[in-house]
Amino acid sequence: MADQFKNYLDGKWQAARSAKAFENRNPANRDDLIGFFPASDATDVDQAVAAAKKAFPKWRLVPAPKRGEVIYRVGELLRKYKEDIARGMTREMGKVLKETRGDVQEGIDTAFYVGGEGRRLFGETTPAELPNKFAMSVRAPIGVCALITPWNFPMAIPTWKMFPALLCGNAVVLKPAEDTPLTAVRLVEILQEAGVPPGVVNLVHGRGEEVGAALVRHGDVQLVSFTGSAAVGREIASVCGQQLKRVSLELGGKNGQIVMEDADLELAVEGALWGAFGTTGQRCTATSRLIVHRDVAKKMSEMLVERAKKIKIGDGLDENIEMGPLINQAAREKVLKYIDIGKHEGARLLTGGSTHESGSCARGYFFQPTIFDQVKPDMRIAQEEIFGPVLSIIEIKSFEDAIDVLNSTAYGLSSSIYTQDVGRAFRAMRDIAAGITYVNGPTIGAEVHLPFGGVKDTGNGHREAGTTVYDIFSEWKSIYVDYSGKLQKAQIDNAE
């Protein structure tokens, strides 16, 4: 009998009010049933939000350093259970163990980084323009925050959102992706063990159309933080706009790696392979366009194809495997659709392009590492987010051409340039329209103490991680203290 998991509401583990449940299966082996999770609805959301609303007034008064100490304990527990969580995550969503260990490590890093911010959480002091008057700004919590997170980083992304939200004094409701509910359960169990009070963190499983939509529309939710597709992000922004509700959106990407003729090609190939096929291409920062100078395009294509054909595909629990499955059948069908689109548009398929179902992979959603060349910048495979192991090679003739091609999509999340020319590197840093730029590194590999996010259709301008995340989860309050003992009129009494 498979395990039965529950929601976490007001400090108690509870089934959905409807008693309905959904299956969670291993994408590397459809016969492996991980468990059943609550198929929640708006009734469960109401209960979760009510619990958060009730817990918020007391939690906001806990001193920020003490809140930070709780989050630091969460980091210690994540480190203690790292291997167990990583193995469960690989079983649940497919990426290989070295990557799921890295996913948990991001949660650990975030906990320790955020925990330390409890003794900072800086505001500002500034001189007042009038005598015997003091001026400063401080951060204040917002209230109940809805966190709607994706499946591809089921520990890293929830912790990016949750830990800063909690440190600022907010209460939260987490709605994880339906494909990765187990990792969310493990995170909340650790929060419970670390001593987070009942109601401060609540977990509601279920479909986005029901649980996510109910959270976004709920009148007692003051903030929505969402990571996912641009299409869903637009709908969330519209609903939140009508309610004047704060919303943070981290959406898609169509990231490009530029390789100039003076690049270290071996290094550039390693970066492209890791950026394109790490997590089976299922990252918002994945390298999906390789923008290569024509003088080295042929050689680099040959090197890439040779290496891509050797990538070991299979169950990520095997330490020798380098690439796991896609998350589900719908994802595999989407990738197949884009293979047909690329061929129809006139791109040349160099390798891959089909499912991988041999041997032990027969019961999973595996796909071959795929590379196209002769891709034009305006082709759909060069413009639309595929979210799979598909790399499109675009030839360019100059540095200026490379920048134009990289900037030619609707997205602007991550970018990369390989060159040994320091002038080109700095011009790329200046001219690329993206939230993240790597020099001589792939488009993946963000660190938790720097801002994460992008421009254009990649989001609505907020940045997670780093210190900028506190501008999402806190309100600024300006404070003036007049100790002159008389009425002083700013901009009037001090005017010439």
Which stretches of 422-469 are DSSP H helices?
422-431
Q: What is the DSSP string of 268-336?
A: HHHHHHHHHHGGGG-STT-EEEEEEEHHHHHHHHHHHHHHHTT--BS-TTSTT--B---SSHHHHHHHH
- Look up 129 and say whether it is catalytic: no
Walk across the sheet containing 124-127 and list its strands.
Answer: 124-127, 133-141, 474-482
From the candidates 145, 168, 240, 284, give the one annotated as an active-site residue. 284
Q: Which residue has the tokens 């409890």?
A: 118
Distance CA 210, CA 217 (A): 11
291 - beta bridge partners?
A: 258, 394
Cα–Cα distance list, 337 to 340, 343, 344, 381, 386 (Å): 5, 10, 11, 10, 9
3-state secondary structure of 200: coil
Q: What is the largest CA-CA distance in the chain?
A: 85
3-state secondary structure of 263: coil
Distance CA 129, CA 402 (A): 50
Residue among 481, 461, 478, 480 nearest 140 (CA): 478
- Look up 266 and say whether it is catalytic: no
Walk across the sheet containing 171-175 and list its strands.
Answer: 12-14, 7-9, 201-203, 171-175, 144-148, 223-227, 246-250
Task: Please check whether residue 281 is in contact with residue 272, taking contact to mean a CB–CB distance below 8 angstroms.
Answer: no
Token pair, residue 250, equals 């981290």
Sequence-ordered strand ranges (E) for 160-234 = 171-175, 201-203, 223-227
Distance CA 24, CA 11 (A): 24
Q: Is the dihedral of CA 401, 404, 408, 412 positive or negative?
A: positive
Neighbours of 344 (CB within 10 A): 11
From the candidates 92, 99, 106, 250, give the one annotated as an active-site residue. 250
Cα–Cα distance list, 290 to 327, 373, 391, 409, 446 (Å): 24, 9, 7, 14, 19
3-state secondary structure of 120: coil
Token pair, residue 487, equals 């009425």
Q: Which residues are catalytic?
A: 250, 284
